[in-house]
Amino acid sequence: MIRVLLVDDHPVVRTGLRGMLATESAIEVVGEAGSGAEAVAMAGAVHPDVVLMDLRMPGVDGVTATGRIMAEHRDVKVVVLTTYETDADILRAVEAGAVGYLLKDTSPAQLAGAVLAAARGETVLAPSVAARLVNSVRRPSSTPGLSAREIEVLRLVGQGLTNADIGRALFISEATVKTHLLRMFHKLGVTDRTAAVTSAMARGYLT
C-alpha cells in the first residue's frame, strides 16, 4: 500500500484529489495539509511514501516545503501538482528534490499512475513540462550567454544586495544595474531575481 500525503491550500482541491485516488486500491491517502509548513510537520507524523505538493501557497511555498521534507525524509517522493509551468517554477521544484511535476488538468488515471511510478523511484513529468526541461537544457547553446559584467551583477544579487548596493559596489548607476538585470532575465528566460540566480547556478554561470 502506497501512503500519500495531499498538500494544497484549497480544501476542495484536496477533496477532489482524494476522490481521484480512491479508485486505486494500492494507494491510501494518509493525511492532508493546507500549507507548506503543515506539510513538513505532517510528513514526519504520517510517514508518507509520496507527497502530492501544491506549488503556490501562502507562507511556506511548495518548493521550500519540498526542500525541507527531502532534507528530513530522504525516502519520501515529492510530486508537484500545480497549475503553473514556467521554466523557473519547474527548475526550482526539481532542484528542491521533487521527482515529478504534474499539472492539475491531469486525469485521475494519469495521477494514480504517476503516484505509483513515483513510489517506484521513477521520474514523472507532464509532457509539456518535460519539453520545457529539454529546452532549458538546450537554451545556453542557442541563446547569447551572460557577459562577465552580468555574471558579476548576478553574483551580488545572490549575496542579497539591492540594486543600489550593487551600483555602489561596481561603480555604476542603479539604472545600469536594472538594465543588466532585464537583459539577464531575457537571456535566462525568467522573470525575477531569485529565479535568475537559480537558473544561472544550474547552467554553471555561478557556483
* pLDDT (mean) for 24-41: 96
Rounded distance between C-alpha atoms, residue 156 and residue 60, angstroms = 25
Asked if 174 and 99 sit in the same domain, the reply is: no
Nearest to 56, CA basis, from 76, 40, 41, 36: 36
- Looking at residue 135, what is its pLDDT? 63
Asked if 128 and 149 sit in the same domain, the reply is: no
pLDDT averaged over every residue in the chain: 89
- Cβ partners under 8 Å of residue 30, min gap 6: 3, 4, 5, 46, 47, 48
Number of domains in the chain: 2
The angle at the Cα of 83, spanning 39 to 70, to the nearest 5 degrees, equals: 30
pTM of the complete model beyond 0.85: no
Question: What is the tens place of the pLDDT at every residue in 61-109?
Answer: 998 999 999 989 989 999 999 998 776 778 788 888 899 999 999 999 9
| Residue 207 placed within a domain | no
- Looking at residue 79, what is its pLDDT? 96
Rounded distance between C-alpha atoms, residue 54 and residue 64, angstroms = 11
Asked if 150 and 123 sit in the same domain, the reply is: no
| Residue 66 placed within a domain | yes
Contact 65, 7 (CB under 8 A): yes
Asked if 161 and 59 sit in the same domain, the reply is: no
Question: What is the tens place of the pLDDT at every residue in 116-158?
Answer: 999 998 989 888 887 766 665 555 444 467 888 888 999 899 8
- Domain extent, residue 182, equals 143-202
Asked if 52 and 129 sit in the same domain, the reply is: yes
